[in-house]
Amino acid sequence: MNALELRNVTKRFTSAGIPAVDDVSFTLRSGEILALVGPSGCGKTTTLRLIAGLERPDSGSLHIMGQLAASPGHFTPPEKRGIGMVFQDHALFPHLNVFENVKFGLKGQPAATARETTLGMLKLVGLENFGERYPHQLSGGERQRVALARALAPRPVLVLMDEPFSSLDADLRHEVREQVRGILKAMSTTAVFVTHDQEEALFMGDRLAVFQNGHLEQVGLPEEIFHDSATRFVAEFMGDSDFLPGVVKADGIQTELGLIPQKVNLPVDSPVEIALRADDVSFDQSNPANALVLACFFRGAYYQYRLRLSSGKLIHAFKPHTQSIHPGTSVHAYISAGHSVTVFHNGVAVTRH
Amino acid sequence: MALPQLRRHYNISPRLLFAAGLMALFVAIPLVYIFFRAVTGGAEVWMRLLQTRIWKLLGNTLLLTAAVTGGATLVGVSMSFLTERTDLPGRRIFRWMLAMPLAIPPYIGGIVHLTLLRPRGGAIPQLLAEWFGQPVPTPSPLGFAGATFILALFMFPYVYLLSGAAFRSLNASLEEASRTFGRSNWHTLWEVTLPALRPGITAGALLVALDVLAEYGTVALLRYETFSSAIFVQLSGRYDRSAAAVLSGVLIVIAIIILWGELRLQGQARYTQMDSQWRPAPPHHLKRWKIPAFLLTAFVVFASLLVPVIVLSFWSVNALLDPATLASIMRSGSQEFGDYIWNSLWSSALAAVIAVLLSLPVALLAVRYPNKLTQAISRFCQVGYAIPGVVIALSLVLLVNRYLPFLYATPLIVVMAYVLRHMPQAIRASESALNQLSPSMEEASRTLGRTSLQTIFQVILPLIVPGLLAGAGLVFLTSLKELPATLLLRPAGFDTLAVRVWIWASEGFYIQAAPAALLLVVASAAPLYFLLRREQIFR
């Protein structure tokens, strides 16, 4: 059974305006973590709030654990959905201490059970000695963990997290997200997680759902999203790709960097773009020169070079840090990818042969 | 998204909209009714008033309003600058003492200063005459100059508190930037600091202007005729309701223009708010101005706080030591002193509770569903600021007589006047309390299994109660001091402390009035103290 299923869900905030969430469908299996990722305003947070029941969809349906939660004729309020939510600002109740915050969702349980569960949760997040403290006495990372403990304590069928790490410093963020992922996995929790950070999405998600302008662009494993982007947007957003124009030929794709011997399912002479990451491109100082080194960035283990091709197109290339080439040098650039590259026609990936 | 969404796009709850709309209707009726009566007052009344009274009253009222507002702004801003931004000796204690005159109704301050300065028989002229063996001319507290002095002296704390808050929220980098562009301290103050504080200062000044328009006791005492005192006379003496309605119509138009300006400024006052980079600007060194500045501040505190409190205490002791006076204070007719206290307390407290309860739907609507309509409802409900006590009294007399006769001559009509007049303070307090509550609190409670009603009681209310109490405290404080509406609307025998002070004082029994006046000041000072404690600087 699917833990969560969205079918053609659409949400508009103004009756005439463009939809904030436009015809979105996906499913989520029990125990899986799905990361919703996209630039700000792409509809990922609204999708999360629709799942939580904090917004009503205009059309489409939403099932949680096989039960209808929302459809045009039905709406289950958030308190009846059995979900837990971690808010971007954590939303800890300032008038309750840590223990009472975590216990808040255990209403209706016998006092002793609720107490035991709360203590167990605090122990799980490593805050067993913090029960008496109030939210304002906690650090950002501690608040984060209290918010997670509070959301998990009632054993929700689904945990929703809205940019839960965005209020933390970069160092702390890496540490906390590893802990959070560990806790979610230890409890086999099904979770939906919203972020605008590609790297965080790749780290947290068992699968990723990439959004743009209210559309779901692609759902898939992190590797699929990264190496096999369904649209030009996904390749651009997830992978810092450069795009090189090309033309389909009988034996491959003709580009400025030569013929790529990769057959695609398109008529000859169709215009396409290929996505190139910096590790797909290399260069040397042989002839004929077809690019100029514009800039060189030290990245620790390697150098990243910005090259301008004869056509004016900019692409990037990685090189080991054993040699450095000065900006202004003319070089010969070539594609060094040991794998097939992703090809886009009108912004959509072309299926390979 | 990088920033937490503070506003949500829920569909407006129809029940809430209905409740708030009802509130707007409730406050609108007295206003609209007075306008209606003013316009339909009859051409003959209008002609008579236009030929005789209106121009004189208009001139008097506008002149006094402008003079008091200017004076209070000057005193308020300079006092807040000296206590917040300089190394003035004793500034910590001065900060408190400069806010405290808010607890002294201007007419009580006026009574004290009048008895000291009165041209014939005043304490100071008498003393001077004894010293020099002949009468010495002293400035008279009566008329325009006296009214301006007294009102500015007891109303400047509005400007002082609002501009003080603005001074405190100012980031040091603003003045530093100006200095790096080659401006001196003095130029920086005039070209950068004060312009940046203009919203805060102007908001305080407009509140003063609205209060001057509504003031009755002081101008009547000092024999300076304004719209408020003229309406009062028409109502109580001549009983000419048509003329009173016409005058009220003109007064409300002036007041609403001022209120409109004040409401427009409310949003703008935000641009001095603190952000995470905020750090306080260092105080200026007064150097050789230290002693003049100290003397100036000490004089303001002396005249606005120490003189009234000392004189009232002195009279009170005299009154309590004299058996005949004490007897007349404790019992006048069938009324006892305890009755005045009890009447004051219960009517003001009831008004405070009702005003806060009624403000909740309006505030909830304006904060949670901000759009043009809800904003308009919230502003409309703040129109009470612009309706002087005499006008509220007139409209309630007319309305209740015609439509709710059973309310007439009950204390409830007094409470109703307090609620109508002081509702804006409750609405502002409730809105600011709700504004500090992130909507994600409510959402968190919902996702943890609470219904929306349970959420209100278990999460929202516990968190906003301090803010609501502050609003209730303000309404209580201002209702306690309210004079003209109470005088005009009270049933026979319903005497409050304010009414009793006024009656005794206007009969010339100052010593008799003193204990009640002192009690009124102390009762107002208590909620004021707690309200000030909520501000960081007064801790």
The rounded percent of chain A whose pLDDT value lies above 70 is 99
3-class SS at B255?
helix
Model confidence pLDDT, tens digit, residues A17-70 = 788 999 999 999 999 999 999 998 899 999 999 999 988 899 999 999 999 999
3-class SS at B382?
coil
- Does residue A264 register a pLDDT over 90? no
Model confidence pLDDT, tens digit, residues B44-70 = 777 777 777 788 888 999 999 999 999
- For residues B79, B82, B84, B85, the Cα torsion angle rounded to the nearest 10 degrees is 140
If one compares B304 and A286, the residue with the highest pLDDT of the two is: B304
Which residues on A lie below 8 Å from B436 (Cβ)? Answer: none
Q: Which is it for the CA torsion A202, A203, A207, A208, positive or negative?
A: negative
Distance between CA A49 and CA A56 in Å, rounded?
Answer: 9
Model confidence pLDDT, tens digit, residues B396-454 = 888 888 888 887 778 899 999 999 999 888 988 888 888 888 888 888 999 998 888 88
List the single residue in A56, A93, A166 with the smallest CB-CB distance to B2: A166
Residue B51 neighbours by CB under 8 Å, 6+ apart:
none
**Distance from first CA to last CA of chain B, Å, rounded?**
37
Q: Which residue of B has its CA nearest to A42?
A: B1
Q: Do A93 and B463 touch (CB under 8 A)?
A: yes
Q: Which residue of A has its CA nearest to B439?
A: A91
User: Residue B34's closest CA among B358, B255, B263?
Assistant: B255
Residue B409 neighbours by CB under 8 Å, 6+ apart:
B491, B492
pLDDT level of residue B182 (50, 70, 90 thresholds): low
Residue B257: CB atoms within 10 Å? 11
Summarize the confidence of residues B321-340 as an average pLDDT. Answer: 79
Q: What is the pLDDT of residue B333?
A: 67
pLDDT level of residue B338 (50, 70, 90 thresholds): confident
Q: Do B443 and A85 touch (CB under 8 A)?
A: yes
pLDDT level of residue B10 (50, 70, 90 thresholds): low
User: Residue B108's closest CA among B494, B525, B527?
Assistant: B525
Which amino acid, residue B434? Answer: L
DSSP H or E run through A318: strand A314-320
- Does residue A176 register a pLDDT over 90? no
Q: Do B438 and A91 touch (CB under 8 A)?
A: yes
Q: Is A297 on the interface with B (CB under 8 A)?
A: no
List the single residue in B2, B11, B462 with the smallest CB-CB distance to A95: B462
Q: Do A93 and B451 touch (CB under 8 A)?
A: no
For the structural domain made of A2-235, what CATH number should be given?
A: 3.40.50.300
C-beta of residue A143 within 8 angstroms of C-beta of residue A171: no
Which residues on B lie below 8 Å from A163 (Cβ)? Answer: 1
Q: What is the pLDDT of residue B2?
A: 34
Q: Give the side-chain half-sphere CA count within 13 A for B30.
A: 30
Joined tokens for residue B295 = 């003397």
For testing the chain A interface, which of B1, B368, B457 should be mutated: the one with the most A CBs within 10 Å? B1
Which residues on B lie below 8 Å from A88 (Cβ)? Answer: 1, 4, 440
Q: Residue length, chain B?
A: 539
Written out in words, the top-level CATH class of the domain with range B64-104+140-242+257-317 is mainly alpha
Residues 174 through 233 of chain A touching chain B, CB cutoff 8 Å: 196
Joined tokens for residue B138 = 């002293």
Q: Is B441 on the interface with A (CB under 8 A)?
A: yes
- Please name the residue that has the structure tokens 């201490």: A97
Model confidence pLDDT, tens digit, residues B462-491 = 888 888 888 899 899 899 989 999 988 888
Q: What is the pLDDT of residue B274?
A: 44
The rounded percent of chain B whose pLDDT value lies above 90 is 24
CA A105 and chain centroid, separation = 28
Which residues on B lie below 8 Å from A11 (Cβ)? Answer: none
Q: What is the pLDDT of residue B279?
A: 65
C-beta of residue A296 within 8 angstroms of C-beta of residue A325: yes
CA distances from B423 to A284, B247, B398, B430 (A): 78, 24, 21, 11
B/e letters for B343-375, b = 16+ CB within 10 Å, e = fewer, are: bbeebbbbbbbbbbebbbbbbbbbbbbeeeebe
Model confidence pLDDT, tens digit, residues B279-323 = 667 777 888 888 999 999 999 999 999 999 999 999 999 888 888
> Can you give the residue ranges of every domain in chain B?
64-104+140-242+257-317, 322-539
Helix and strand totals (H; E) in chain B? 26, 2
Residue B4 neighbours by CB under 8 Å, 6+ apart:
A87, A88, A89, B438, B440
Q: How many Å lie between the alpha carbon of A60 and the closest alpha carbon of chain B? A: 19
Q: Do B448 and A87 touch (CB under 8 A)?
A: no
Q: How many Å lie between the alpha carbon of A168 and the closest alpha carbon of chain B? A: 12
Residue A32: CB atoms within 10 Å? 18
Q: What is the pLDDT of residue A64?
A: 94
Distance between CA B298 and CA B304 in Å, rounded?
Answer: 10
Residues 444 through 463 of chain B touching chain A, CB cutoff 8 Å: 444-452, 459, 462-463
pLDDT level of residue B151 (50, 70, 90 thresholds): very high
- Does residue B4 register a pLDDT over 50? no
Model confidence pLDDT, tens digit, residues B80-132 = 999 988 889 988 899 999 999 999 999 999 999 988 888 777 778 888 888 88
Residue A22 neighbours by CB under 8 Å, 6+ apart:
A10, A43, A213, A214, A215
Distance between CA B487 and CA B491 in Å, rounded?
Answer: 9
Do the two domains B64-104+140-242+257-317 and B322-539 of this chain adopt the same fold? yes
Q: What is the pLDDT of residue B11?
A: 61
- Does residue B184 register a pLDDT over 80? no
Model confidence pLDDT, tens digit, residues A217-242 = 999 999 888 888 899 999 988 877 88
DSSP assignment of B330-367: HEETTEEHHHHHHHHHHHHHHHHHHHHHHHHHHHHHHH
For testing the chain B interface, which of A37, A54, A144, A211 should be mutated: the one with the most B CBs within 10 Å? A54
Summarize the confidence of residues A113-124 as an average pLDDT. Answer: 92
- Please name the residue that has the structure tokens 């009270």: B490
For the structural domain made of B322-539, what CATH number should be given?
A: 1.10.3720.10
C-beta of residue A254 within 8 angstroms of C-beta of residue A61: no
Most confident of A207-216, A321-330, B337-346, B530-539: A207-216
Distance between CA B342 and CA B348 in Å, rounded?
Answer: 10
Model confidence pLDDT, tens digit, residues A78-116 = 888 989 999 888 888 888 899 999 999 888 889 999 999
- Please name the residue that has the structure tokens 């980031």: B171
DSSP A72: T
Q: Is B436 on the interface with A (CB under 8 A)?
A: no
Distance between CA B361 and CA B378 in Å, rounded?
Answer: 10
- Does residue A214 register a pLDDT over 80? yes
User: Residue A302's closest CA among A277, A322, A285?
Assistant: A322
Which residues on B lie below 8 Å from A121 (Cβ)? Answer: none
Q: Give the side-chain half-sphere CA count within 13 A for B67.
A: 16
B/e letters for A161-184, b = 16+ CB within 10 Å, e = fewer, are: bbbbbbbbeeeebeebbeebbebb
Q: What is the pLDDT of residue B537?
A: 60
Q: What is the pLDDT of residue B369?
A: 81
**Distance from first CA to last CA of chain A, Å, rounded?**
34
List the single residue in A55, A56, A85 with the smallest CB-CB distance to B444: A85
Q: What is the pLDDT of residue B280?
A: 67
If one compares B53 and A295, the residue with the highest pLDDT of the two is: A295
Q: Is A79 on the interface with B (CB under 8 A)?
A: yes
Q: At A307, phi and psi to the nearest 5?
A: -115, 140
Distance between CA B282 and CA B179 in Å, rounded?
Answer: 13
Summarize the confidence of residues A165-181 as an average pLDDT. Answer: 85
**pTM, rounded to two decimals:** 0.77
Joined tokens for residue B425 = 């303070």
- Does residue B538 register a pLDDT over 70? no
Q: How many Å lie between the alpha carbon of B277 and the closest alpha carbon of chain A? A: 16
Q: Do A196 and B438 touch (CB under 8 A)?
A: no
CA distances from B157 to A221, B92, B106, B137, B335 (A): 65, 16, 12, 31, 35
If one compares B42 and B275, the residue with the highest pLDDT of the two is: B42
Distance between CA A275 and CA A290 in Å, rounded?
Answer: 19
- Does residue B269 register a pLDDT over 70? no
What pairs with residue A192 in β-bridges? A34, A160
- Does residue A180 register a pLDDT over 50? yes
For testing the chain B interface, which of A40, A104, A106, A163 should be mutated: the one with the most B CBs within 10 Å? A104
Q: What is the pLDDT of residue A353?
A: 46
Q: Give the side-chain half-sphere CA count within 13 A for B333.
A: 8
For testing the chain A interface, which of B8, B371, B447, B451 should be mutated: the one with the most A CBs within 10 Å? B447
Q: How many Å lie between the alpha carbon of B439 and the closest alpha carbon of chain A? A: 9
Q: Is B371 on the interface with A (CB under 8 A)?
A: no
Sheet holding A302-309, edge to edge: A281-284, A330-335, A291-298, A302-309, A314-320
> Can you give the residue ranges of every domain in chain A?
2-235, 240-349
Q: Is A136 on the interface with B (CB under 8 A)?
A: no
Least confident of A94-103, A180-189, A315-324, B43-52: B43-52
User: Residue B489's closest CA among B422, B405, B423, B394?
Assistant: B394
